[in-house]
Copies of this chain bind each other. A is one copy, B any other.
Amino acid sequence: MSPRSNSAAGTKKSAETRARILEAALRVFRERGFEAATMREVSAEAGVALGGAYYYFPSKEAIVMAFYEQAQAEMRPVLEAVLTEGRTLEARLRGLIEEKFTCFGPNRKLLGALSGHTDPSHSLSPFSSETADIRNADIAFFERAVTDSKVKLPANILPYLPRLLWMYQMGLILFWVYDRSPAQRRTRALFDGTLRMLLLTLKIAGLPLLKPMHKIAGDVLHAVFEEK
């Protein structure tokens, strides 16, 4: 029986053990990298036998998925707060992305150990079907940030803006993960600068000068995001 489907006995102790294994695994992944880390090290660090780790997590990858889910659950209320408190698109975007850095901060090296994978067929990739729920929930935050802020954009572009912003965020996080500058100053500069450029661009997007871009941009977005 999986510990998830227990009804009575040991439910509490079970959850504790599971949490202990998860924490231990994250420590080991951080120190040695995901690939280099072994389940033997993880179970030793957690103070359980090898089989114990496999009792709670069906595979090494499953531990990472559990981390993703836990991280997202922790972030949800924080992101909600950003959306209700922020009034402008700038404040909301800055807040949403900044909170990602804050929450992921202690695990930056851990993400580095994982996020070499851009391959959508790899289950741990942020673009995989296994992570679709997490991804869509995150995109929904950008959706709300955009909707509440009455951004003016052509009708053939606007629907794609939340997904574009999510991808912008993913790019920033990827850069941040590999950013070796002290306190990740370079990411800070990249974030500040590109966000300002982004907002400037949205501001002037309606001007006649940029009219020729509209159709091209819309076609590109359609080709990239639309199924079939």
Contacts and interface: CB of A to CB of B under 8 A. Distances in A.
Mostly, the A contact residues are helix
Interface string A113-131: 0011111111001010000
A184 to B, nearest CB: 11
Contact of A190 (B121, B190, B220): B220
A228 to B, nearest CB: 8
Contacts of A118: 115-116, 118, 174, 178
Copies of this chain present in the complex amount to 2
Interface stretch (A49-57, A72-80, A158-166, A191-199): A191-199
A216 interface: yes
A204 B216 CA distance: 16
A207 B210 CA distance: 12
Contacts of A197: 213, 216-217, 220
A205 to B, nearest CB: 12
A16 interface: no
A183 interface: no
Given A197-B213, A200-B212, A213-B200, A223 B116 contact: no
Contact of A223 (B190, B212, B217): B190
Contact of A220 (B117, B193, B219): B193
Interface of A: 112, 115-122, 125, 127, 174-175, 178, 185-186, 189-190, 193-194, 196-197, 200, 204, 207, 209, 212-213, 216-217, 219-220, 223-224
In the A-B complex, list the 7 residue pairs whose CB atoms are closest, starting with the nearest: A116-B119, A189-B223, A193-B220, A193-B216, A186-B223, A116-B117, A196-B216
